[in-house]
């Protein structure tokens, strides 16, 4: 018996609709068809009768039934118009982080030096390099698995980004350049006591080292990076943080206390306080 595109779509719905809902399952099926069989996402109806091998789809459905994110199942996530390799060593790039990248690009068109701290998949650093080609960009992370993914993405996307192993919580930032125009970070910021509020596809699969901070110190990474960035930014340089929506004001107050000239909070597309932007005096 031959398997067609229409058969695969029907199979996804029969197995997954009760778990995810019809619309989300339709998206999963179309993403899988594009990745595994080259069926265009937006034109899949034209290929309904195309015959395909169904082995990969069966495995994908099993993984989705276990609540594994579709991006990990396919090994790819789209971010700022670019396809990034992802696996359980890195967080899945999110739309609000695209907003952060967009703001940096628009506000810093002539930036010469940019550092992305806690880079994960490299999505921020690589997207900045692709859109600000005259800037020299560094991307740092402490985890070897994340660094490997970032390096693969930089190579695949032909982005000349320096990937550096560096612990954001250490005192020594000498491996990173001085006189930077922009430093950006989307650090861990979810408190341990919030674990129960997270969906299984996040808690069970995404790397906890990239997600969580101690309940007693939600500002851990912001404090260390904010302090170090003062020594790395040029006068007038800008530090951008993605923040927990409950703590953006706390991040802004911390940065002002550290000595930044000004700090503003930017809301995301959902009206939540998400980005802190501080200027070095």
Q: What pLDDT score does 197 carry?
A: 86
Q: Cα separations (Å) of 206 from 72, 121, 209, 211, 258?
A: 9, 12, 9, 8, 32
Residues 118 and 143: their CA atoms lie apart, in Å, by 9
Long-range contacts formed by 101-105: CB under 8 A, 24+ apart: 101/127, 101/128, 101/131, 103/240, 103/266, 103/275, 103/277, 104/128, 104/182, 104/184, 104/240, 105/131, 105/132
Burial of 51 (0-12, 13-18, 19+ CB in 10 A): exposed
Residues 208 and 242: their CA atoms lie apart, in Å, by 17
Q: What pLDDT score does 54 carry?
A: 83
Residue 216 CB partners (closer than 8 Å, separation 6+): none
With beta carbons less than 8 A apart as the criterion, state whether 90 and 79 touch.
Answer: no
Q: Exposure pattern of 148-170 as b/e (b: 16+ CB <10 Å)?
A: bbbebbbeebebebebbebebee
Q: What is the pLDDT along the chain (281 residues), one digit of tens a residue?
A: 579 999 999 999 999 999 999 999 999 999 999 999 999 999 999 999 999 988 899 999 999 999 999 999 999 999 999 999 999 999 999 999 999 999 999 999 999 999 999 999 999 999 999 999 999 999 999 999 999 999 999 999 999 999 999 999 999 999 999 999 999 999 999 989 898 888 888 888 989 989 998 889 999 999 999 999 999 999 999 999 999 999 999 999 999 999 999 999 999 999 999 999 999 98
pTM: 0.94
Handedness of CA 63, 64, 69, 71 (dihedral sign): positive
Q: What pLDDT score does 152 carry?
A: 98
How do the domains of the chain map onto residue ranges?
3-66, 76-279
Type and span of the H or E element at 122? none
* Selection from 79, 92, 70 nearest residue 25 by Cα: 70
Type and span of the H or E element at 111? none
Residue 268 CB partners (closer than 8 Å, separation 6+): 96, 99, 274, 275
With beta carbons less than 8 A apart as the criterion, state whether 242 and 100 touch.
Answer: yes
The greatest distance separating any two alpha carbons of the chain, rounded to the nearest whole angstrom, comes to: 70
Q: What pLDDT score does 2 carry?
A: 72
- The fold of the 76-279 domain, in CATH, is Rossmann fold (3.40.50)
């Amino acid at each position: 018996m031959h398997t067609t595109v229409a058969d695969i779509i029907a199979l996804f719905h029969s197995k997954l609709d009760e778990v995810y809902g019809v619309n989300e399952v339709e998206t999963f099926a179309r993403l899988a068809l594009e990745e595994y069989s080259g069926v265009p996402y937006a034109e899949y109806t034209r290929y309904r009768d195309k015959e395909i091998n169904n082995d990969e789809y069966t495995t994908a459905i099993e993984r989705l039934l276990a609540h594994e994110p579709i991006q990990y199942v396919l090994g790819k996530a789209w971010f700022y118009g670019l396809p990034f390799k992802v696996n359980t060593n890195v967080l899945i790039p999110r739309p609000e982080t695209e907003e952060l990248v967009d703001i940096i690009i628009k506000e810093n068109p002539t930036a010469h030096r940019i550092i992305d701290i806690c880079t994960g998949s490299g999505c921020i650093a690589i997207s900045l390099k692709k859109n600000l080609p005259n800037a020299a960009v560094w991307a740092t992370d402490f985890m070897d698995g994340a660094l490997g993914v970032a390096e693969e993405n930089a190579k695949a996307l032909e982005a000349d980004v320096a990937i550096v192993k560096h612990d954001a919580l250490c005192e020594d930032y000498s491996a990173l350049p001085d006189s930077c125009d922009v430093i950006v970070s989307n650090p861990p910021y979810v408190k341990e006591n919030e674990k129960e509020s997270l969906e299984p596809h996040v808690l069970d699969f995404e790397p906890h080292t990239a997600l969580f901070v101690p309940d007693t110190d939600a500002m851990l990474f912001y404090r260390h990076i904010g302090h170090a960035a003062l020594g790395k930014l040029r006068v007038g340089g800008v530090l951008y943080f993605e923040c927990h929506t409950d703590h953006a004001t706390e991040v802004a107050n911390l940065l002002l206390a550290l000595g930044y000239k000004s700090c503003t909070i930017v809301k995301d597309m959902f009206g939540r306080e998400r980005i802190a932007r501080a200027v070095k005096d």
